[in-house]
Chain A
Amino acid sequence: MAMLIVPLGATGQEESIVAGLSQNTVSITANFNGSEILIFGAVQRSAPAPEEPLGVIVTIEGPDQALTVRRLDRNYGIWMNVEAVEVDAAPTFYAVATTAPFDEIITSTEDLRYRISIPRAIRAVGTGSDRPGDFTDAVIRIRTDAGLYQVLESTVNLRSETLFDTSIALPANLVEGDYLARIFLTRGREVVTSFETEIEVAKVGLERLIFNLAHERPLIYGLLSLFIAIVAGWSASAVFRYILSN
């Protein structure tokens, strides 16, 4: 259990966030099958709560990755890649959970400013196409289908305008790196305060060992892979000969 108190830009604000995560590190082991992160916290107030209802938005964002998005089209009766667009940075994972439908608790200006919704989290879609929007939509659609982008509207529980909690499932096909968890409080569709903390996702044990060997000693790794293959091939042959000779 890790508890963190990091109110951002708390000067002159009447409300701040105290929050924690069920885990700040995710270890990818051989039988890793995804992980559920519980995010919980409370709103701290120095003055009575304002009239307008409180909104809470929780996001978890994986490391950014540059992508090439290709579009297929029919040419000469064959489906082939006809267009490619470079996306400078798209998060490898992105989940956004809210207390109410997205549009009801935040304006698009605030969304743009804090890069909260999924389309805003994808940065700098390159030119080279007259319809770049189609390519961004494709990234979101493909990654949503793979469970890597999640929009979880109205899944944050908020009690007495003070206590909140939600859980976000990280899928099994996670990329290693530092994941950023952010919490935003909104009133009147404006962000009043936010909070962020990191989740470290890393391979451990055998997974770590194999990955490091493959990258740091590639020749030894390659030879070892061949050695395993030859030994496996030989032992299968030997076992079968033994079985059949009896």
Chain B
Amino acid sequence: MLIYLPIAEVSVNAFLLLGLGGLVGILSGMFGVGGGFLMTPLLFFIGIPPAVAVATEANQIVASSFSGVLAHFKRKTVDLKMGGVLLVGGLVGAALGVQLFNALRAIGQVDLLVKLSYVVFLGIIGALMFVESLNAIRKSRKAGGPPPRRHHRGWIHALPFKTRFRTSGLYLSVIPPLVVGVAVGVLAAIMGVGGGFIMVPAMIYILGMPTKVVVGTSLFQIIFVTAFTTLLHATTNFTVDMVLAVLLLIGGVIGAQIGARIGVYLKAEQLRILLAIMVLGVCFKLAFDLLVQPSELFSLGVASGH
């Protein structure tokens, strides 16, 4: 069934959008990532103009994250305090990121920088997670029991303003989560996504949060960042397509519920290794596109500055 999108001004198959939304929604509920880093390239591929794809995707992530976070709230796997601290950092970072993005756009080559930052960050994060979770699985097989909790003794624990994050079971300074929030916010704004795929590994490896709590807390934080982004796009660029968003989010919210329940049956290491494989897959695809000669060497864009 073809449907005409009023803002994107293209006709697309409604069932295809429902399916894509559902698939990305499952991943979102399972891993606590918004799914923007997967969905946005997929939307480009089916012919949605990039500006509309990025803005509408933010709106859809609000829906699937909200759906997912409710499931996590019920299981009490959301650390509201940690989420709040990360969010404060995230919003500051997003504001900085938008400034940086506009500065890069003025120089030109913003597309390339976005793609390169995707490749670099996805590559590093994916590889680190893959190796770490593989080791964890191997260790747990050998020991036959659960792996020992990671303990970060060192400079992070020497920082002031220590506070207790009860749900995560951490006694930690607020400075590391704030810094992580700002860094992820900057990257998220430049790359046009919620930033879950950077936030999740950062929470696990830098802050040392338990994997089960990370997913819900990341989703909680993403809701606010993407809601802010949606409003920004809607009021400045008029690029949020409501019809496209509704089609994507119907699939997305259902998928997120299924994903959140699948996640319960997986071990933390398995969850991490799957996320690592997915992140590496997207990284290789983007790197491949940069390195291999494309079939069409020219691209059209609506002219700016007229």
Contact = CB atoms under 8 A, between A and B. Distances in A.
Contacts of A159: none
A218 B6 CA distance: 15
Contact of A225 (B64, B108, B245, B289): B245
Given A222-B235, A229-B59, A79 B257 contact: no
Contacts of B6: 203, 206-208, 210-211, 214
30 contacts: A30-B4, A31-B1, A68-B300, A69-B300, A80-B290, A87-B303, A135-B298, A138-B296, A139-B298, A142-B298, A142-B299, A172-B11, A203-B6, A211-B6, A214-B234, A215-B238, A218-B235, A219-B231, A221-B240, A226-B227, A228-B63, A229-B66, A229-B227, A229-B245, A232-B249, A233-B63, A233-B65, A236-B253, A240-B71, A240-B257
Interface stretch (A6-14, A70-78, A112-120, A187-195): A70-78
Contacts of B289: 79
Given A67-B303, A78-B112, A81-B109, A218 B238 contact: yes
Given A215-B238, A222-B230, A77 B291 contact: yes
B251 to A, nearest CB: 10
> Which residue, of A30, A141, A176, has the highest number of chain B Cβ atoms within 10 A?
A30
Contacts of A71: 297-298
A30 B241 CA distance: 13
Given A222-B240, A233-B66, A233-B67, A70 B3 contact: no
Contacts of B154: none
B14 to A, nearest CB: 9
Chain A, interface size: which category?
35 or more
Interface in B276-306: 289-294, 296-304, 306
A189 to B, nearest CB: 33
A174 B246 CA distance: 22
Given A203-B6, A237-B253, 11 more contacts: A34-B11, A67-B302, A68-B304, A73-B297, A80-B109, A81-B108, A81-B111, A142-B298, A211-B7, A221-B234, A226-B59
B60 interface: yes
A211 to B, nearest CB: 5
B134 interface: no
B243 interface: yes
A214 B299 contact: no
A218 B7 CA distance: 13
A26 B267 CA distance: 56
Contacts of A33: 2, 4, 11
Interface in A4-29: 28-29
A72 to B, nearest CB: 5
Nearest to A238: B70
Interface in B22-58: 47
A169 interface: no
B230 to A, nearest CB: 6
A3 interface: no
A78 B290 contact: yes
B299 A69 contact: yes
B254 interface: yes
A210 B9 CA distance: 12
A229 B249 contact: yes
Contacts of A73: 297
A71 to B, nearest CB: 6
A87 B303 CA distance: 8
Interface string B224-244: 000100110111101010110
A9 B253 CA distance: 62
A241 B74 contact: yes
B62 interface: yes
A223 interface: yes
Given A32-B11, A224-B242, A237-B70, A79 B62 contact: no
Given A28-B4, A81-B111, A225-B234, A173 B11 contact: yes
B256 interface: yes
Contacts of B293: 74, 79
Contacts of A207: 4, 6
Contacts of B238: 214-215, 218
A235 B67 CA distance: 8
Nearest to B232: A222
B159 interface: no
A52 B244 CA distance: 55
B10 interface: yes
B127 interface: no
A230 interface: yes
A229 B294 contact: no
Contacts of A174: 9
Contacts of B257: 236-237, 240
Nearest to B303: A66
